[in-house]
Amino acid sequence: MKSIRGRITIWMLTGLALLWLAGGTAIYLTSRAAMLAQIDTEIQGLSRQVRAQSRGPGGGRGRRHEDAGPVHSAVFPEHTYYQVWNLDGEVLLRSEELGGQDLPRLDASAELAAFATVELRPGTRVRLAATHFAAGRAGAGGRREGRGQGGMNEPVLVAVARSLEEFEAESRKLAWGLGLIGLLAAAGAWLLLSLALRHGLRPLRQLGEAVATVDASSLDVRFGNTDMPRELRPICARLDGVMDRLQQSFERERRFSADLAHELRTPIAELQVMTELSLKWPEERTEQQIHDIRGIATRMRGVVDTLLQLASLEGEGTESLQDSVVLADLIREAWLPCAGLAAKRDLEVRIEWPEDGSMPGNPELWRHVLGNLLANAAEYATAGGRIIVEAGEHSLRVLNTAEGLHPDQVGRMFERFWRADSSRTGAVHCGLGLSLASACAEAMGLHLTATLRQGPNEAPELVMELGDRGA
């Protein structure tokens, strides 16, 4: 059963049914016992009347039961039987309705009557009470029978039996009544439960409906609000967190798609227009144009190669890339192409990496990382600022002066095609360098981070740090 409503309903109804069963059974048994006790009290009273009536006028010693008249029928209700024995077991008196059949003789003491439910005949169950009356004892009044009273004064055993037919009928009525009430109660409980569940689960249903409407165009939907029941708030908070991440991810993908489109379509447009111009007006053809076309094609190839490299790095495991690499020579090698630009931009450069300093990884990937980080620093460091390559704690750091860089830009630096200038102007960099550096770092089991901090003279500095993932 995969329905919360169904489970709660079944559990509740089963529980209620069991409770009703237990309660109903208790009520039934208690009622039966009470009814039976009442019958016992009645037949015990009848026993005394039998004893009293059986003495009769002049009754007493020597009077035989055939001499004793029947007990007045007005005393005895229908389907009630009596029999009297002396201590020798001789039947002194017996009701005619018995038809010569004897009632079972129970052992009763002088103090305590005996009761039993017996089957008198097949299909006829009776409640039997046997009371022992001592000699001279009379009815409830306790008056001693004396001379002149006459009657049977010897000790006798009086048995009175009453048919349980009425009792059983009443019990059956009770059982049926309890059963019917139980069914009605169950129906009522089911109805109430349904309403309660419907109302109680409505926020959950509404939440489900709201989640079902979410698609790529409605990622700004959020679910947490003060109207939500307390039990659902943690779920809503989590959902909102997931939606935030999803929205950011979609936004990144959208930006990536737009930027990729621009990076590929613009050079294709350039090539197309330039070649069509040359074909339509051959006199416009120049050698410079041919060089420009080649430059555009080279740039496109660079973009495609970098993208393919990124794709292959993402699938790469790190197990085979964990050698220890001495970085000093690689740093110098990577810096060489940037030195001219740095000098032109009047940048102060300090490479403070120890000669024997090493980091885990792979030389080829380190070349990509260092090449991109240093080229980035040389290109975008504030003119007249500084670039430093130094060792951190189990990490390598490249920092450069970065005036004009906003903290919110730092978080996006490693997105593909991201550039501070959203126009994407310039043929040199397409915004994949830092993505590639980051992917290379991950492939080596390292992690590349970017932070903005205050440098000397309050000038902001961008710090690129490459270290262990756990650091």
Partner 1 sequence: MKVRRFNPMRVLVVEDSKHLRTAVAKALKRSGYAVDTAADGEEGAWLARESTFDVVVLDIMLPKKDGLEVLDELRRDGIETPVLLLTARNSVDDRVRGLRSGADDYLGKPFELAEFLARVDVLCRRRYGRRSAVVEAGDLRVDTNAKVARRGGQDLDLTAREYALLELLVMQPGRVLSRTRIEEHLYDGRGSRVSNVVDSTVYHLRRKLGPDGREIVRTRRGQGYVFEEARP
Minimum Å distance from CB 450 to partner 1? 23
Say whether residue 181 binds partner 1 (CB under 8 A).
no
Interface stretch with partner 1, choices 56-64, 107-115, 280-288, 382-390 (CB under 8 A): 280-288
Question: Tokens for 269?
Answer: 């447009």
Say whether residue 199 binds partner 1 (CB under 8 A).
no
CB-CB contact of 306 with 432 (8 Å):
yes
Say whether residue 102 binds partner 1 (CB under 8 A).
no
Say whether residue 282 binds partner 1 (CB under 8 A).
no
Question: What's the CA gap between 188 and 181, in Å, rounded?
Answer: 10
162 φ, ψ (degrees, to nearest 5): -130, 135
Site for partner 1 in 248-267 (CB under 8 A): 258, 261-262, 264-266
Choosing from 37, 277, 304, 471, the residue that interacts with partner 1 (CB under 8 A) is: 277
Question: What's the CA gap between 431 and 437, in Å, rounded?
Answer: 11
DSSP characters over 29-67: HHHHHHHHHHHHHHHHHHHHHHHHHHH-TT--TT--TTT
Choosing from 145, 270, 415, 465, the residue that interacts with partner 1 (CB under 8 A) is: 270
Say whether residue 379 binds partner 1 (CB under 8 A).
no
Say whether residue 273 binds partner 1 (CB under 8 A).
yes
Q: How many positions of this chain bind partner 1 (CB under 8 A)?
A: 26
Say whether residue 425 binds partner 1 (CB under 8 A).
yes
Specify which residues 464 forms β-bridges with.
398, 450
Choosing from 222, 332, 412, 424, the residue that interacts with partner 1 (CB under 8 A) is: 424
Say whether residue 328 binds partner 1 (CB under 8 A).
no
CB atoms within 10 A of CB 199: 9
Looking at beta carbons only, is 266 or 449 nearer to partner 1?
A: 266
Say whether residue 79 binds partner 1 (CB under 8 A).
no
Question: What's the CA gap between 435 and 442, in Å, rounded?
Answer: 11
DSSP characters over 261-291: HHHHHHHHHHHHHHHHHHHH-GGG--HHHHH
Q: Provide CB contacts within 8 A for 170, sequence distance 6+.
A: 35
Say whether residue 290 binds partner 1 (CB under 8 A).
no
Minimum Å distance from CB 406 to partner 1? 17
Question: Which residues would be at the binding site for partner 1 (CB under 8 A)?
Answer: 258, 261-262, 264-266, 268-274, 276-277, 280-281, 284, 292, 296, 421-425, 427
